[in-house]
Amino acid sequence: MTWEMVLKSYLIFLRLEKSMSKNSIASYGFDLQKWITFANERAWSIQSVNADEIRSFLQYCQSHGMASSSQSRLISSLRSFFEFMVMEKVRIESPMEVVESPKLGRYLPDVLNQAEVFAILDGVDLSATLAHRDRAILEVLYSCGLRVSELLTLKISHCFFNEGYLRITGKGNKERLVPIGKTAIRWIQHYCEHDRNFLRPDEKNRDILFLNAKSKGLSRMSILNIVKREKLRAGIQKEVTPHTFRHSFATHLVEAGADLRAVQEMLGHASITTTEIYTHLDRQRMREEIMLFHPRYNKNKGA
């Protein structure tokens, strides 16, 4: 049995037995294909590969610039993959039992301040093709803090504008209700009036809210290109991705005193620990403000 055969069976297992989303399965497949390519180049067999050889693979990944967070995800993928092989009696035991994950530092995401967000939103050229769609997308990203995958799959039938909520399908196909502000609702309605009414989606895409010029669902790259184009138009130099709007949404809520549990619910975080990153970000911002303006911290001013 080859590595590729086992991988194919494993991905089917994730889909049928674990009911994982397509995105999650694709991530596992992407990670494990790296390992398989590395192992095949060295003619390592499924039965004989050991922990030292796996460590050499991880060292190779690290030496080629792989971040600790990506290494941790890769190790998780390998651990699950080898556990599957043990379960299917392809191997007697898993070599991953003695392979440790790298220690991760707390990651503080880049965020936009409110002026930068408004500069991007207000800078959209509404005379351009599908510009009302692009403005609506940016408004929803910031107003609701959605993941890109959630935005791409947002359905018209899941928009409850009278109640002020969207029904969002997040990770693990878990559903949640997310509040949406009047401004974002207004721009979605503008998009439907100016752009979407002239599109002719097929049955598969009829309920998808955001469409491209061919009346098909948008891709991740399409959303990234919209964000990058508009941040350049706004004259913002820092790196900005669609996820930056999600981080900015959460950070601005925490800065304004929003309850952390409420922010957790809106973001769809399984654990409050994930949401707590925004309290650390808020404290870091507070410290920077003190360092900048307090006379006892600012070296440019008298002691």
End-to-end CA distance of the chain: 73
Please identify which of the residues 171, 176, 194, 285 carries the catalytic annotation.
Answer: 171
Rounded distance between C-alpha atoms, residue 142 and residue 244, angstroms: 9
215's CB contacts (< 8 A; 6+ apart) are: 199, 200, 201, 202, 205
Please identify which of the residues 34, 55, 194, 269 carries the catalytic annotation.
Answer: 269
Strand, coil or helix: 9: helix
Is 269 tagged catalytic?
yes
Rounded distance between C-alpha atoms, residue 124 and residue 23, angstroms: 30
Q: Let me know how long the chain is.
A: 303
Please identify which of the residues 231, 246, 247, 252 carries the catalytic annotation.
Answer: 246
Token pair, residue 220, equals 């991740």
Nearest to residue 80, comparing CAs of 171, 174, 6, 173?
A: 6
Is 214 tagged catalytic?
no
Please identify which of the residues 147, 231, 247, 252 carries the catalytic annotation.
Answer: 147
Is 246 tagged catalytic?
yes
Please identify which of the residues 10, 28, 191, 278 carries the catalytic annotation.
Answer: 278
246's CB contacts (< 8 A; 6+ apart) are: 141, 145, 146, 147, 267
- 170's enclosing H/E stretch is none
Is 171 tagged catalytic?
yes
Rounded distance between C-alpha atoms, residue 183 and residue 173, angstroms: 28
Work out whether the CA dihedral 197, 202, 207, 209 comes out positive or negative. negative
Is 243 tagged catalytic?
yes
Rounded distance between C-alpha atoms, residue 219 and residue 294, angstroms: 47
User: Would you say 115 and 190 are in contact if contact means Cβ atoms under 8 Å apart?
Assistant: no
Token pair, residue 296, equals 């006892």
Cα 288 versus chain centre, distance: 27
Q: If you search the block for the tokens 């969002």, which residue do you land on? A: 168
Please identify which of the residues 73, 79, 216, 243 carries the catalytic annotation.
Answer: 243
Catalytic residue numbers read 147, 171, 243, 246, 269, 278
